[in-house]
Structure 1
Amino acid sequence: MRNIIITGGGMVNKGAQAMTLIAVHELRERFPDHRIYLYSPVDLANRKLDKDVFTFDFVGWYPLKFAHCQHNLVQRRIILLRNRSELLEAEALYRNTDFIVDISGYALGSNWSDKICNDYLDILEFANGFGIPVYLMPQSFGPFDFGEERQALNIRIQKLLPTAKIIFAREKEGYDALVNTYELKNVRLTYDLVLSNTKIDLANIFTSAPALNLPEIKSNSVAVIPNSMNTNISDQNTVLALYTNAINALLDHGKTVYLLSHSAMDSDLCRKLKKSFLSNDKVILLEQDFNCLEFNELVKKFQYLVASRFHSIVHAFKNGIPCIALGWATKYHDLLKLFGQEQYVLDVRNKIEAAQMLAVIAKMDACHLEESVKIQKGLADVQQQNVFDVLTQHQKES
């Protein structure tokens, strides 16, 4: 049995979960005789995660050392002496791999650390060491303003990105940055893979279908979904004030407000926001750690969202639920523009006045039914293409 390896995914947050489960489903539909592996050292080390419920396997070997030791006899000898069985097992897996699909949401650009960028590039270098084709599935890229002090990283990007079979950029800005900065010929502009997916067969993903555990949601409700990344762009007090203003405005419109984290990293923000409304029973903190399947069902129960996690908005749009996006990157603008919703983006990289927040919420509250219809029409156009179909064609030609 031949192998396919997925990189860049995992179970850490709902966005990564959704991309992983959809990738597994789409690959199983097209390559039913392949064994699928998820490269995720974090998940492999997580003892709380029941890995037996999945139809795919987790691997966590650090790939670069195995790539290097193919051509460096000294390194190879050292690794063989330290852990011969692990090396041989890894080599057997990799040499039997037909291709790698990377589903990183956003991990390459000058606003990320050298470590994050190099970890991303390690996959390409590792794949080259074993002659494995790599497809970089729809994700964000750039900017690439590295400066003189980071030229080593810039040179590494210039060397390794051309080795990918196809690079799928999901925003025009990222596409232009790749083409103009590195003169790449292997870049295509396409939609987010979660957004373009129309269905998943749980039998492709789970050994038995999981039960969904969903709370009751009151009518006339809105969810607020913060993102801790916003506190890296602006200071935490400013970000908390922004969400607090949004909650107060929603309460003024008679809404019940649910605070919901889309990632474990955002739970603390949700708790801090609830502390500001401790005595108000119309502000409800949902502390359950929902999986992406539960979140997809839960989002249907709200009139609209005030959301800062990219894939929380994607899940909402897939269900025709409008969103006010408090975003920190270009990807939010492109996503909402795709559905004619750009007037509902508030960019935390710029100063957001309280009056802006009030105006956007008032507009959404008055128009959310019309916006829902508009989103559903746009979704039908987006879902006419599926990026995974390219893999089928490429494998037939190889």
Structure 2
Amino acid sequence: MMIEIKGSQFVNKGAELMVHAVIEQIKANWPDAELVMATNPNSPYVERAKLGAYQKLSIRKNIIDLNFISYKLPVKFRTWLKHKWGIVTEADITHVFDASGFAYGDQWGSLTIKALAGEIIRSKAHGQKYLFLPQALGPFTRSKDLSYLKKALPQADLICAREETSYQHVKGIVGENSNLHQFPDFTNLVTGVLPDYFVNGDQKVLIIPNSNMVGSRNNQSAWKSNYLRVLQDAVAMIRELGLQPVLLNHEGAGDGAICEQVNQACGGDLELIHETDPLKVKGIIGASHGVICSRFHGCVSALSQGVPCLGTSWSHKYERLYEEYLQSECLITPEITAEQLREAFSTAKQLACGEKQVKARDHFKQQSKDMWKTVFQRA
């Protein structure tokens, strides 16, 4: 059994946390399974090697997809590639666990949809399994994308939409299909690790930025002119409350640049955390007094651990997440004033420990357990 963990990377800490969550379940259910990960700019060989993952050879460049050739290669040659160089092809993979998070929809290129459709259809034709783990999907409005997806998605063994909006986007394509389910983000089952250097967390409020908030993928233009102002207001509010603001870089250079901008605008003396271990990032979030967050998995890590969390949004996935955790009031708008921000943070602290919210956290953890049961049944 050879399982590809697709859509994974090591720069975005949320994406890497999903990798850990997947591997944890694979080891528990299929301890002898072999792992495969594809190369990409954010998934260097060294990081993949630490997980013992084989490297997937992809024969695709832009619109040209020649991965069908891998099925025509002699088995002896593919075996030699695997054992000599640690390289496997699409033909060697028995299961694809697609953990892309948010990679398919109008906010991304059509080439991704075309490649996805081809891979699903080839997988079905060769008796392999293709399973989408919970992720945000859609919207899908481009005619070419819809044509590809209508042919491919019904052939997937399992499609897990992460929330109602994504579910409806896919349902509009496949209809009432038995392969379509709705399950929450599954990193809520992963236990974080608190690093020794993070002390007095109960006196610290994390600010976790997201470069997408001021990028082209965000269709809420008001955020582009207000985002830095809101984060600076957040720093001032935290200090006024007698707490310590801390900047946490959840993904790479883009987010790091925003951290530096906020730091310089607020005096240049803020604590800035660049933690590379996603388990430690989750541990830091769990040990904090509160969080003001623009990264989806940062929000999940806070909400699922009962940490007060104000969020911002550039995609429907944030609105649905906060609705599910019964904390929609904690998703702030770009026009929010400093006083309103303080009131919202007070609300977040009240809701984090509310009886209904505690039940919601427990409910979604059980949902994630049910999801994994479904995955291994379908696989």
Residue 315 (str. 1) matches residue 301 (str. 2):
yes
Output the CA distance in 2 between the equivalents of 1:198 and 1:117.
30
- Choose the corresponding residue for 2:184, options 178, 185, 191: 191
Superposed, 1:267-282 pairs within 5 Å as: 267-278=256-267, 281=269
Q: What SS does the aligned partner of 2:108 have?
A: coil
Residue 158 (str. 1) matches residue 150 (str. 2):
yes
Output the CA distance in 2 between the equivalents of 1:26 and 1:259.
32
The offset of 1:103, in angstroms, is: 0.6
Distance 1:319 1:369, change over 3 A: closer
RMSD: 3.1
Encode CA deviations 1:234-259: one digit per residue, 9 max, x unaligned: 36442211211222222222221001
The offset of 1:213, in angstroms, is: 5.7
Q: Quote the residue 1:30 is aligned against.
A: 29
* Greater Cα shift, 252-261 or 175-184: 175-184
Aligned amino acid, residue 7 of structure 1: K
Output the CA distance in 2 between the equivalents of 1:40 and 1:21.
17
Superposed, 1:252-331 pairs within 5 Å as: 252-264=240-252, 265-278=254-267, 281=269, 283-286=270-273, 288-331=274-317
Output the CA distance in 2 between the equivalents of 1:65 and 1:369.
48
Distance 1:35 1:219, change over 3 A: closer
Output the CA distance in 2 between the equivalents of 1:294 and 1:26.
19
Which portions of structure 1, spanning 4 or more consecutive aligned residues, are displaced by more than 6 angstroms?
Answer: none
Superposed, 1:1-398 pairs within 5 Å as: 2-42=1-41, 46=44, 49-62=46-59, 65-69=65-69, 89=81, 94-128=90-124, 130-146=126-142, 151-183=143-175, 185=177, 186-195=179-188, 197=189, 212=195, 214-217=197-200, 219-232=202-215, 233=218, 234=221, 236-264=224-252, 265-278=254-267, 281=269, 283-286=270-273, 288-347=274-333, 351-364=335-348, 367=350, 370-371=353-354, 375-385=357-367, 386=369, 387-395=371-379
* Greater Cα shift, 298-307 or 182-191: 182-191
Distance 1:329 1:124, change over 3 A: same
The offset of 1:145, in angstroms, is: 2.3
Q: TM-score, normalised by structure 1?
A: 0.80
Q: TM-score, normalised by structure 2?
A: 0.84
- Verify the 8 A CA contact 2:54 2:88 in the aligned structure 1: no
Q: Which runs of 5+ in 1 are unaligned?
A: 201-209
Output the CA distance in 2 between the equivalents of 1:329 and 1:262.
17
Output the CA distance in 1 between the equivalents of 2:291 and 2:226.
20
Output the CA distance in 1 between the equivalents of 2:316 and 2:114.
22
The offset of 1:363, in angstroms, is: 3.0
Output the CA distance in 1 between the equivalents of 2:306 and 2:172.
35
Q: Percent identity?
A: 20
- Verify the 8 A CA contact 1:67 1:130 in the aligned structure 2: no
The offset of 1:325, in angstroms, is: 0.8
- Verify the 8 A CA contact 1:66 1:126 in the aligned structure 2: no
Output the CA distance in 1 between the equivalents of 2:328 and 2:298.
16
Q: What SS does the aligned partner of 1:69 have?
A: helix
Aligned amino acid, residue 58 of structure 2: W
Aligned amino acid, residue 53 of structure 1: K
* Greater Cα shift, 51-60 or 168-177: 51-60
- Verify the 8 A CA contact 2:158 2:378 in the aligned structure 1: no
* Greater Cα shift, 239-248 or 176-185: 176-185
The offset of 1:119, in angstroms, is: 4.5
- Verify the 8 A CA contact 1:168 1:190 in the aligned structure 2: yes
Output the CA distance in 2 between the equivalents of 1:55 and 1:368.
41
Aligned length: 362
